[in-house]
């Protein structure tokens, strides 16, 4: 693959940061959150470092916006013009990139520019994070259809939450998208417990292969 995995989700607040940080730590990759919207309670980059990513592997955000909102609105409220050139992938590998919210979240209002449009420019494989609970089939299938319609490579998906065997089986069966496993909710959520859960519940060998640069 490209040496890069883009972690996106079927919705916001479903555990993308935990998944991205857990993978970056386990695979000794760099972590990058290009757009951080909402800084009052900390940032996803700080969370990644707390969750085990080496501090020198946490790259600075291209944009840090205070308002906890869609990037387009947060930028408008702060009179920030998001420059596409600032969102180019950093020249470091291996690299785990965490998107903001879901695939269709707007980065800019005019001209329209969505997270999925940015992913299409990067051409890096996307790892989709989905809940296990009710509603995930619809959200996941729609997200996968959107990625396929734009020709964006899909590395696979990771589920987050309590076991739901049928949801975790039917989505890969209907789409052909690989299931790399399920990360349970962790209490406490810290670097030690996350590292153990990633080793126990996720297909790290498969994820490592998906992250390896093309030869």
Q: How sure is the predictor about 1, in pLDDT bands with cuts at 50, 70 and 90? A: very low
Q: Is the peptide bond before 187 cis (omega within 30 degrees of 0)?
A: no
Query: What domains can you pick out in the chain, each with its CATH number?
Result: 4-211 (3.40.50.300)
Q: What is the per-residue pLDDT across 42-60, written as a single tens digit (0 to 9) for each? A: 999 999 999 999 999 999 9
Residue of 2, 10, 14, 33 marked active site: 33
Average pLDDT over residues 68-91: 96
- Rounded mean pLDDT, 126-144: 97
Query: CB neighbours of 106 closer than 8 A, spacing ≥ 6?
Result: 70, 71, 72, 73, 112, 113, 114, 115
pLDDT (tens digit, 9 = 90+) per residue, 140-173? 999 999 999 999 999 999 999 999 999 999 999 9
Average pLDDT along the chain: 96
Query: Which helix or strand (DSSP H or E) is residue 21 part of?
Result: helix 16-26
Q: What is the mean pLDDT of residues 93-104?
A: 96
Catalytic residue status for 16: no
Q: Which pTM was predicted?
A: 0.96
């Amino acid at each position: 693959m490209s040496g890069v995995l883009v972690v996106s989700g079927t919705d916001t607040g479903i555990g993308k940061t935990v998944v991205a940080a857990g993978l970056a730590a386990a695979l000794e990759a760099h972590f990058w959150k290009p757009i951080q919207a909402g800084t009052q309670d900390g940032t996803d980059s700080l969370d990644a470092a707390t969750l085990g990513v080496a501090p020198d592997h946490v790259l600075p955000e291209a944009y840090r916006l205070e308002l906890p909102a869609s990037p387009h609105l947060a930028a408008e409220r702060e009179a920030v013009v998001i420059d596409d050139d600032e969102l180019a992938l950093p020249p470091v590998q291996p690299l785990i990139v965490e998107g903001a919210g879901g695939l269709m979240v707007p980065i800019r209002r005019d001209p329209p520019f969505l997270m999925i449009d940015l992913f299409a420019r990067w051409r890096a494989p996307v790892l989709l994070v989905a809940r296990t609970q009710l509603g995930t089939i619809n959200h996941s299938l729609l997200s996968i259809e959107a990625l396929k319609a734009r020709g964006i490579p899909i590395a696979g998906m990771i589920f987050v939450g309590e076991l739901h065997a049928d949801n975790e089986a039917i989505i890969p069966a209907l789409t052909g998208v690989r299931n790399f496993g399920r990360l349970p909710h962790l209490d406490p959520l810290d670097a030690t417990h996350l590292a153990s859960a990633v080793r126990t519940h996720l297909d790290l060998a498969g994820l490592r292969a998906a992250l390896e640069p093309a030869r």
